[in-house]
Chain A
Amino acid sequence: MATENSLERGASPAKWEEVGERGLIKGEDAFKALTFWLADEEYAIDISVIEEITRPIVVTTVPRVPPYIKGIVNLRGRVIPVLNMHVRMGLASFAPGNKNRFIICRTEQSEVGIIADRVTDVVCLEKYQMEPPPAKIAASGSGFIKNIGRVKERILIVLDTDKILRVNEGGTVA
Chain B
Amino acid sequence: MAVRQKKQNSMLREFVPEAEEMIDILHQNLHQIEALADKDSVKPDMVNAIFRAAHTLKGMSGMVGLDKVCKVSHHFEDILDKVRMGKASFTPEILNLLIDGVSLLQAMIKAASLGKAEPDVTFFEDRIRLSLSEKPKVEGDDILSDLDLPVALPNLLTEYEHHRLVQNIKTGAKLYEAVATFPLETFDTDLSDLNAKIRLLGEIVATLPGPSPTGGMEFRIIVALPKDAPDLEGQIVSEFVKVRPLSKHQSVVAPLPSAPLAAGALSLQTEVASALPKPVAETEPLSEESESAAASDIDTGGDLESIRSLSQTVRVDIEKLDTLLNMVGELVISKGQISEISRRLLGQEGISSFALEVQKASKMLDKRISEFQEKLVEVRMTPIGQIFDRLVRVVHKVSKDLGKEVNLLFTGEETRMDKSMVEELSDPLLHLILNALDHGLESHEDRIAKNKPTTGTIMVRAEQRGNHVVVEVEDDGQGMDTEKIHEKGLKRGLVIPGRKYSQTELVKLLFLPGFSTREKVTQVSGRGVGLDVVAKNIAKLSGMVDVETVLGQGTIFTLTLPITLVIIKALIVEVERETFAIPLSSVLESMIFSDKEIKTIERQEVIQLREETLILIRLNALFNLVKGDVTEEPVYVIVVGLVDKKMGLIVNSIKGQQEIVVKSMGEELKDVKGISGVTEIGDGKAILVLDISALIQEVTEKK
A6 at the interface (CB under 8 A from B): no
Which residues of the partner chain A approach B678 to less than 8 Å between Cβ atoms?
Answer: 60, 72, 74, 79
Give CA–CA (A80, B625) in the complex, Å: 20
A79 to B661, CA, bound (A): 13
0/1 string, A45-80, CB within 8 A of B gives 1: 000000000000110111111000100111001011
Q: Mark B365-398, 1 if CB is under 8 A from A, else 0.
A: 0000000000000000000000000000000000
CB within 8 Å for A60 and B685 given contacts A65-B669, A77-B330, A81-B669 = yes
Cα separation A167 to B685 with both chains bound (whole Å): 22
By the criterion CB–CB under 8 Å, are B671 and A62 in contact? no
Instruction: Check A72 against B665 for contact (C-beta < 8 Å).
Output: yes
Which residues of A are found within 8 Å of B686, using beta-carbon distances?
A: 58, 60, 72-74, 79
Q: Which B residues are in CB contact (< 8 Å) with A109?
A: 667-668
Query: What is the predominant secondary structure among interface residues of chain A facing chain B?
Result: loop
Inter-chain CA distance A14–B138, complex, in Å, is: 60
- What is the CB-to-nearest-CB distance from B567 to chain A, in angstroms, rounded to a whole number? 15
Task: Mark A residues whose CB is within 8 Å of B.
Answer: 57-58, 60-65, 69, 72-74, 77, 79-81, 109-110, 112, 167, 169, 172-174
Does B86 count as interface, using CB distance less than 8 angstroms? no
Q: Which interface residue of B578, B624, B666, B668 has the most chain A CB atoms within 10 A?
A: B668
Residues of chain B within 8 A of A61, CB atoms compared:
578, 625
Chain B, interface size category, equals: 20 to 34
- Does A80 contact B666, Cβ atoms closer than 8 Å? yes
Chain B residues within an 8 Å CB radius of A57: 684
With contacts A58-B685, A60-B688 known, is A174 near B330, CB below 8 A?
no
- State whether B672 touches A172 (Cβ < 8 A): yes
- On whether the beta carbons of A65 and B672 are closer than 8 Å, the reply is yes
Give residues 45-91 of B contacting A (CB, 8 Å): none
User: Is B675 an interface residue when CB atoms closer than 8 A count as contact?
Assistant: yes
Q: For B684, what are the chain A residues with a Cβ–Cβ distance below 8 Å?
A: 57-58, 74
Instruction: Say which residue of B330, B667, B672 sits within 8 Å of A64 (CB atoms).
Output: B672
Given contacts A74-B686, A77-B329, 14 further A-B contacts (CB under 8 A): A58-B684, A58-B686, A60-B687, A62-B672, A63-B674, A64-B673, A72-B669, A74-B678, A74-B680, A79-B663, A79-B678, A80-B666, A109-B668, A174-B671
State whether B672 touches A81 (Cβ < 8 A).
no
* Contact indicator A174/B326 (Cβ below 8 Å): no
In the complex, A169→B670 CA distance in Å? 9
| A62 and B685 form a contact (CB under 8 A) | no
Q: Closest residue of chain A to B579, judged by CB?
A: A60
Q: Does B313 contact A (CB under 8 A)?
A: no
A78 to B623, CA, bound (A): 24
Cβ of B325 to closest chain A Cβ, rounded Å: 11
Contact pick for A110, options B622, B667, B680, B687, CB 8 Å: B667
Q: Assess whether B664 is interfacial by the CB under 8 Å rule.
A: yes
Query: In the bound complex, how far is the Cα of B665 from the Cα of A112, in angstroms?
Result: 12
Closest 9 pairs between A and B when the two form their complex, measured CB to CB = A63-B623, A167-B668, A74-B686, A109-B667, A60-B686, A58-B685, A79-B678, A81-B668, A72-B686
Contact between A69 and B624, CB atoms less than 8 A apart: no
Q: Please tell me which one of the listed residues A64, A72, A81 contacts residue B674 in the complex, with CB atoms under 8 A apart.
A: A64
Chain A residue contacts of B683, Cβ below 8 A: 58
12 CB contacts below 8 A, A to B, read A58-B683, A60-B578, A64-B624, A64-B672, A64-B673, A64-B675, A69-B669, A72-B669, A73-B686, A74-B684, A77-B329, A174-B671
A69, A73, A74, A172: which contacts B671 (Cβ < 8 A)? A172
CA distance A124 to B248 in the complex (A): 59
Task: Report A-chain residues with C-beta under 8 Å of the C-beta of B671.
Answer: 169, 172, 174
Residues of A within 8 A of B666 (CB): 72, 79-81, 110
Query: Would you call A63 and B665 a contact (CB within 8 A)?
Result: no
Residues of A contacting B672 with CB < 8 Å?
Answer: 62-65, 172
Nearest CB of B to A45, in Å = 18
A residues in contact with B685, CB < 8 Å: 58, 60, 74
B668 adjacent to A62 (CB under 8 Å): no
The reply to whether A62 and B669 contact each other, CB–CB distance below 8 Å, is yes
Contacts of A79 in B (CB 8 A): 663-666, 678, 686
Cβ A172 vs Cβ B669 within 8 A? yes
A residues within 8 A CB of B673?
Answer: 64, 173-174
Residue in A80, A172, A174 with the greatest tally of chain B CB atoms within 10 Å: A172
